[in-house]
Structure 1
Amino acid sequence: MTPFDITLLAFAGFAAGTLNAIAGGGTIFTFSALMAVGVPPVAANATSAAAVVVGSVASTVAYRREVLAALRRLLPLCAISALGGAAGAFLLLRSGDQAFRALVPWLLLAATMLFAAAPLIQKAVQRMAAAGQRRGGFGLAVPVQGLVSVYGGYFGAGMGVMMLASLSLTEDSDYHAINAAKNLMSIVLQLIAVVVFIASGIVRYEISLLIAAASIAGGWIGVVAARRVAESHVRALVIGSGLALSAWYFLT
């Protein structure tokens, strides 16, 4: 890697950690930076997934009380998340760079739209959780979570918003319990997907560690920034960048 590549990747990791601490959406930047420095699309996605999984672990630990309280009930969803994450990872490996590259602009656009809709989705989840309604039964959670997990193992950007919405259809606890369940499902499927990627030999370890270290530093800064910068400004930056990147990949 050149000094410019290292700087770009470190900046992307730092920005991702900061943005995830404030509003989310950091995966869009890490994946795009990896593509920009010449990492093939499939390897870029796998390397980005390996780097950001650290943040998911930290989020799950922060919600450990809620996770432990619902762990037994969530075990079937953990199992389907693991299967879906593995299926998505294998699907990514089988699709190859050419097919995946053709999907990249559509995936980035979809992730950006999901990110833009996240506040509305979160408010709807909070309202439904506050109402204490059971919205479809546990049986609906398994296939829905399976589909979301396949997407998460395949690409991942925007997965958290999708999962938050899908879990709200079946969970009748408060918002933080739903969010905790989302974090647990995320770490399970991401870890399985990363294991598949590592076994395939496509993860660029040195780049992944660089991004992970920078994202941890960005996460600390993000906590401070979250108290000083309006979330609406940050969201506008992420949405604008996501749309610009989508347009770039559509045109190139």
Structure 2
Amino acid sequence: MKRKGTSVKIEAPRESIEAVLGDVPGFVTNWPYVVRVSRRDGLKAEIMMPRFVFRFRDTYSIEYHSDYNSHIYDGRGNKGHLTLVVTLKEWQKYVDVVLELSYKGKGEFWLGKILQDFVEKVGKAIKELAESRPIKAPEPATTPGGGIAAGVDFSNPMSVAEFLSKSQMVHSGLHIVGEEGLLSLISELRSTIKDRVLYISGITNDGANSFKVLLEGSRILAIEYRNPKGTSAMKVESDEDAKKAVELASEVRGTYMTNVWVPVGGV
């Protein structure tokens, strides 16, 4: 069995980190080398780890366990067993997050550097997500969408976790976002998915870029775009916000593994 580890210092409230780690589908989507995430018949993640000319690709069924200090993500695939343990140690002004990744299975003797890169990028993702999304008190649902969809704010991970807990995935696939940006992808998905409220997320194969967008009809309710330069997130509450949201959506480019969720039982 190969084991690799790292640690990161996060200057954010413990609650912010717990919220990131507790949103298991959203957290796993931000892992590197993840090309597909599915919630049908339990949470599954398809991971492709490159090594020279080889591609170690497998689909892992993810089980999540937690106690006071540790969060465990246990992935069992057809070719291997992948386990990530995230342990928190809280200090006065920051939190130490210690990560240990273990892998047993096909190609384990070839994957030392890849596994180290994997666990370091996961640590970086936790830091970026937690420090850019402080916990906030839930805001009243005042937008025309009403209900749980109106309460989604990408700067508040708990609101996202609540929405996903009451939703189901209806689409997953690889999409190329061209010069028109995210609006072209939205139009493409809208042509086949007729639900009024859609939550769309996408991530590149290397995990460096990702986006999330919540729609009511053709109107953007909330949007987030992450790239190596940082993360931009906003909730649309005015006409000026709507204009900025469209501008942010137009910046998205590249090839993304895209997942689409819709609320179950109304919004």
TM-score band by shorter chain is: under 0.3
Q: Larger Rg: 1 or 2?
A: 2
User: By percentage of residues, which structure has more strand?
Assistant: 2
TM-score, with structure 2 as normaliser: 0.26
User: By percentage of residues, which structure has more helix?
Assistant: 1
TM-score, with structure 1 as normaliser: 0.27
